[in-house]
DNA sequence: GCCGTTTTCGGCCCGACTGTTTTCAGTCG
């Protein structure tokens, strides 16, 4: 799977061309890179079929370059460009406030090629002598270097959540604020956020800006204007706030929620209909007459579109679907009747089976499924064939003590050789079998795909657990040909897990959508190891929504009898 | 370099903030 590699090269080409003041090409390369990055299919397969130019944004010339790279593993055009610039662009581009124009000037005048060179030039105070630069720019760049060196990783959705709630609560209580909302990638339900974006309606913007930039956890004020400010909290999280008037709130929300790619498409669509769209509203191109902007719904309606939920706004076909009134009726947390994949003290959980089941009942769920570890996973006390009887006996006792359905099951290791450590016959005694990869994760895509698919073909399993095995900010996904895995899962009626554990969030939304397009079905889980983890299934709902899922696609939303039927081996 | 209910040529989203400027370029989202 070379999609990522190809996309990265195209992005780098775009950056170099931008540095060379080439017009328009950079955005063409970027658009193609973006499209290739979000493909569900292996680009090599598309190339084999001769369909590279079918990818939106990929035309004759980029297709030829992609083909050359796939065929030979090299791209002389890219090598030539790299030689021309002699600059470590990837490194310098990370520094905030440093773009192509400044990088070019720094190279021309001071021979700065990388962060080290920039640091030296700053220490000699040569940077502030350049035209267009000054003392402050030099200081900002030095701080930027420090920031890159100690760069915090992306923030998990759950760690941003309490900050969002606290800010909303505080600001909504101020009498001079009429409305306050969170936008950005957080609003789109992404698994991680780079920063947080807020939007407020107020007749006294200066007061809002003052309160915002002096919040108690602010470590640094990055920008402060009359209507827009940015701060960084002591934990490194950047927060932006913009104040708008009531009439602009919808258009401003739309702009701030993004994604940028969605906004660009929406603005193009507006232009094609004789309107221009900005954060201030929808206007006619001729005469700049205000049409609407108070609510997002009005804007979408005026553009001839169904309302598009924030989670769908990734420019992955939602605008075309909204034009045809074919958007999905997305699931929500209240549609979820129960949770799969929960651990207890029988393996590495910290609460008993009974405590977990009682908590689920308290959360007004209708079922819980226990799936303690079975197999050589790296924990001290996994289930074994010997202990399985006692475990099932204990589950039977719990069933008599709670008023919800309790499913028995295991999370069993997919072994290196594509088998499971328990024969199919014994698996059939369990209600829910989840098979997951935990060990021997460094394999080629071919081997790993074979390993996972072989288990799906040979054993009576119900759910494929955390399919990519990624851990956010810690571990990349395993090598896997996902399309093949999805096809196999579909063929054998195996549900794909959407694991809501905050640092897993696996499958991610974009893959969920690809699998859904292939006809797969899904099971939401919390991967709870304690009673406090049970609510994590709602994070899985975010991913399900980002993957365009409806109730019919998600096992947890079905009636109990339908679920039991689907789990029969 | 890509693309087409204006177009096979001539467009390509839009505006705020900062720092350096005496009116604007660069960067960012």
DSSP 8-state assignment for residue A560: H
| Gap from A140 CA to B19 C1', Å | 11
Q: Which residue is nearest to nucleotide B16 (CA to C1')?
A: A228
- Of A373, A365, A309, A351, nearest to A537 (Cα)? A365
What is the per-residue DSSP string for A282-314?
EEETTTT-EEE-S-HHHHHHHTT-----GGGTT
Q: What is the pLDDT of residue A4?
A: 80
Q: Which residue is nearest to nucleotide B3 (CA to C1')?
A: A57
| Gap from A302 CA to B11 C1', Å | 24
Instruction: Specify the nucleotide whose C1' lies closest to residue A144 (CA).
Output: B27
**Residue A258, phi-psi category: left (phi > 0), alpha (psi -120 to 50), beta (remainder):** left
Q: How many CB atoms lie within 10 A of CB A444?
A: 9
Mean pLDDT, rounded, for A444-459: 93
A347 CA to centre of own chain = 30
Q: What is the pLDDT of residue A486?
A: 96
Q: What is the pLDDT of residue A151?
A: 72
| Gap from A272 CA to B6 C1', Å | 9
Among the listed ranges A73-77, A417-421, A471-475, which one has the minimum average pLDDT value?
A: A471-475
Among the listed ranges A123-137, A356-370, A386-400, which one has the minimum average pLDDT value?
A: A123-137
Q: Which residue is nearest to nucleotide B20 (CA to C1')?
A: A132
Cα angle for residues A374, A379, A381 (degrees, 5° grid): 65
Instruction: Specify the nucleotide whose C1' lies closest to residue A53 (CA).
Output: B2
| Gap from A543 CA to B16 C1', Å | 32
Whether residue A359 is predicted with pLDDT greater than 90 in this model: the reply is yes
Q: What is the pLDDT of residue A381?
A: 81
Instruction: Specify the nucleotide whose C1' lies closest to residue A224 (CA).
Output: B17
| Gap from A470 CA to B26 C1', Å | 38
| Gap from A211 CA to B25 C1', Å | 31
- Of A79, A44, A80, A75, nearest to A62 (Cα)? A75
Mean pLDDT, rounded, for A25-30: 89
A414 three-state secondary structure: coil
Q: Which residue is nearest to nucleotide B25 (CA to C1')?
A: A132
Distance CA A351, CA A342 (A): 10
Residue labelled with tokens 């003041």: A21
Q: Enter the tokens of residue A535.
A: 């609510």
Q: What is the pLDDT of residue A380?
A: 67
Instruction: Specify the nucleotide whose C1' lies closest to residue A63 (CA).
Output: B1
Mean pLDDT, rounded, for A381-399: 92
| Gap from A394 CA to B28 C1', Å | 58
Q: Which residue is nearest to nucleotide B5 (CA to C1')?
A: A272
| Gap from A75 CA to B1 C1', Å | 17
Instruction: Specify the nucleotide whose C1' lies closest to residue A274 (CA).
Output: B6
DSSP 8-state assignment for residue A128: G
pLDDT one-digit tens code per residue, A187-227: 999 999 989 999 999 989 989 999 999 998 898 898 888 88
Give the H or E element holding residue A26. Answer: helix A25-37
Q: What is the pLDDT of residue A569?
A: 64
Q: Which residue is nearest to nucleotide B12 (CA to C1')?
A: A24
**Nucleotides of strand B under 7 angstroms from a protein beta carbon:** 1-3, 5-6, 11-21, 25-29
Q: Which residue is nearest to nucleotide B28 (CA to C1')?
A: A97
| Gap from A183 CA to B20 C1', Å | 32
Instruction: Specify the nucleotide whose C1' lies closest to residue A139 (CA).
Output: B19
Instruction: Specify the nucleotide whose C1' lies closest to residue A197 (CA).
Output: B29
Q: What is the pLDDT of residue A45?
A: 85
Cα angle for residues A162, A163, A165 (degrees, 5° grid): 65
Q: How many CB atoms lie within 10 A of CB A60?
A: 8
pLDDT one-digit tens code per residue, A283-337: 988 778 899 999 999 999 999 999 999 999 998 889 999 998 999 999 999 999 9
Q: How many CB atoms lie within 10 A of CB A191?
A: 23
Instruction: Specify the nucleotide whose C1' lies closest to residue A131 (CA).
Output: B20
Q: Could you tell me which residues are beta bridge partners of residue A498?
A: A524
Please report which confidence band the pLDDT of residue A378 belongs to, taking 50, 70 and 90 as the band edges. low
Distance CA A262, CA A303 (A): 14
Q: What is the pLDDT of residue A498?
A: 97
Give the H or E element holding residue A197. Answer: strand A195-201
Residue scoring higher pLDDT (A475 or A19)? A19
| Gap from A396 CA to B7 C1', Å | 71
Q: Are A109 and A130 in contact (CB under 8 A)?
A: yes
Instruction: Specify the nucleotide whose C1' lies closest to residue A102 (CA).
Output: B26
Side-chain-side CA neighbours of residue A361 (13 Å): 14
| Gap from A31 CA to B8 C1', Å | 21
Do β-strands A281-284 and A275-278 pair in parallel, antiparallel, or remain unpaired?
antiparallel
Please report which confidence band the pLDDT of residue A146 belongs to, taking 50, 70 and 90 as the band edges. confident
Q: What is the pLDDT of residue A557?
A: 98
A338 three-state secondary structure: strand
Q: How many CB atoms lie within 10 A of CB A396?
A: 11
| Gap from A348 CA to B20 C1', Å | 60
| Gap from A59 CA to B8 C1', Å | 14
Q: Which residue is nearest to nucleotide B11 (CA to C1')?
A: A24
Q: Which residue ranges form the domains of chain A, and what is each CATH number?
A: 3-149 (1.10.150.110), 155-244 (3.30.460.10), 252-323 (3.30.210.10), 333-567 (3.20.20.140)
Cβ-Cβ contacts under 8 Å for A250 (sequence gap 6 or more): A292, A293, A294, A295, A296, A297, A298, A299
pLDDT one-digit tens code per residue, A39-68: 767 788 889 988 899 888 899 999 999 999
Distance CA A527, CA A348 (A): 11
Q: Enter the tokens of residue A165.
A: 């709630």
Q: What is the pLDDT of residue A148?
A: 84
Whether residue A473 is predicted with pLDDT greater than 80 in this model: the reply is no
Strands (E), A486-545: 495-499, 522-528
Please report which confidence band the pLDDT of residue A460 belongs to, taking 50, 70 and 90 as the band edges. very high
pLDDT one-digit tens code per residue, A509-539: 989 999 999 999 999 999 999 999 999 999 9
Whether residue A474 is predicted with pLDDT greater than 80 in this model: the reply is no
Q: How many CB atoms lie within 10 A of CB A51?
A: 13
Please report which confidence band the pLDDT of residue A405 belongs to, taking 50, 70 and 90 as the band edges. very high
**Residue A189, phi-psi category: left (phi > 0), alpha (psi -120 to 50), beta (remainder):** left
Instruction: Specify the nucleotide whose C1' lies closest to residue A283 (CA).
Output: B14
- Of A154, A11, A70, nearest to A470 (Cα)? A154
Instruction: Specify the nucleotide whose C1' lies closest to residue A98 (CA).
Output: B27
Q: Which residue is nearest to nucleotide B29 (CA to C1')?
A: A260
Mean pLDDT of chain A: 91
Please report which confidence band the pLDDT of residue A84 belongs to, taking 50, 70 and 90 as the band edges. confident
| Gap from A520 CA to B4 C1', Å | 35
What is the per-residue DSSP string for A395-412?
HHHHHHH-SSEEE-EEEE
């Amino acid at each position: 799977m070379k999609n990522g590699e190809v996309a990265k090269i195209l992005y780098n080409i775009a950056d170099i061309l931008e540095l060379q003041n080439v017009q328009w090409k950079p955005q063409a390369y970027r658009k193609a890179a973006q499209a290739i990055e979000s493909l569900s299919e292996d680009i090599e397969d598309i190339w084999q079929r001769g369909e590279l130019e079918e990818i939106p944004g990929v035309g004759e010339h980029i297709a030829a370059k992609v083909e050359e790279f796939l065929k030979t593993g090299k791209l002389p055009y890219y090598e030539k460009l790299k030689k021309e610039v002699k600059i470590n662009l990837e490194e310098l581009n990370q520094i905030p406030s440093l773009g192509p124009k400044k990088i070019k000037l720094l190279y021309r005048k001071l021979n700065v090629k990388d962060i080290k060179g920039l640091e030296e030039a700053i220490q000699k105070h040569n940077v502030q002598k350049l035209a267009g630069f000054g003392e402050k720019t030099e200081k900002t760049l030095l701080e930027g270097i420090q920031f890159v060196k100690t760069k915090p990783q992306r923030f998990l959705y759950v760690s941003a959540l309490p900050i969002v709630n606290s800010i909303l609560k505080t600001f909504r209580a101020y009498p001079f604020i009429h409305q306050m909302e969170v936008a950005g990638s957080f609003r789109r339900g992404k698994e991680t956020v780079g920063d947080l974006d807020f939007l407020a309606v107020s007749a006294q913007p200066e007061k809002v800006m003052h309160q915002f930039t002096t919040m108690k956890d602010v470590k640094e004020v990055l920008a402060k204007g009359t209507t827009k400010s940015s701060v960084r909290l002591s934990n490194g999280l950047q927060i932006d706030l913009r104040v708008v008037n009531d009439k602009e709130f919808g258009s401003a929300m739309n702009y701030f929620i993004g994604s940028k790619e969605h906004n660009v498409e929406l603005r193009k669509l507006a232009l094609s209909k004789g309107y221009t769209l900005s954060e201030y509203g929808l206007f006619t191109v001729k005469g700049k007459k205000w049409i609407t902007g108070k609510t997002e719904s009005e804007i979408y309606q005026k553009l001839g579109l169904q309302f598009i939920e924030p989670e769908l706004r990734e420019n992955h076909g939602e605008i075309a679907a909204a034009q045809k009134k074919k958007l999905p009726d997305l699931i929500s947390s209240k549609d979820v009747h129960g949770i799969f994949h929960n651990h207890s003290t029988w393996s590495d959980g910290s609460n008993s089976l009974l405590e977990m089941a009682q908590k689920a009942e308290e959360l007004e769920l209708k079922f819980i499924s226990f799936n303690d570890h079975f197999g050589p996973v790296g924990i001290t006390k996994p289930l074994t064939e010997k202990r399985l009887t006692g475990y099932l006996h204990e589950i039977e006792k719990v069933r008599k003590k709670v008023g919800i359905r309790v499913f028995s099951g295991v999370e069993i290791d997919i072994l290196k050789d594509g088998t499971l450590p328990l024969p199919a016959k014994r698996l059939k005694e369990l209600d829910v079998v989840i098979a997951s990869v935990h060990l021997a994760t460094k394999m080629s895509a071919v081997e790993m795909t074979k390993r996972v698919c072989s288990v799906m073909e040979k054993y009576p399993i119900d759910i494929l657990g955390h399919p990519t095995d990624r851990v956010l900010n810690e571990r990349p996904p395993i090598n896997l040909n996902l399309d093949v895995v999805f096809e196999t899962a579909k063929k054998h009626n195996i549900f794909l897990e959407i694991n809501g554990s905050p640092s897993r969030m696996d499958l991610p939304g974009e893959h969920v959508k690809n699998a859904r397009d292939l006809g797969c079905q899904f099971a939401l889980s919390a991967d709870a190891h304690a009673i406090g983890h049970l609510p994590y299934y709602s994070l899985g709902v975010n991913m399900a929504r980002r993957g365009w899922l409806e109730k019919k696609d998600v096992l947890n939303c079905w009636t109990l009898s339908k679920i039991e039927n689907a789990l029969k081996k």
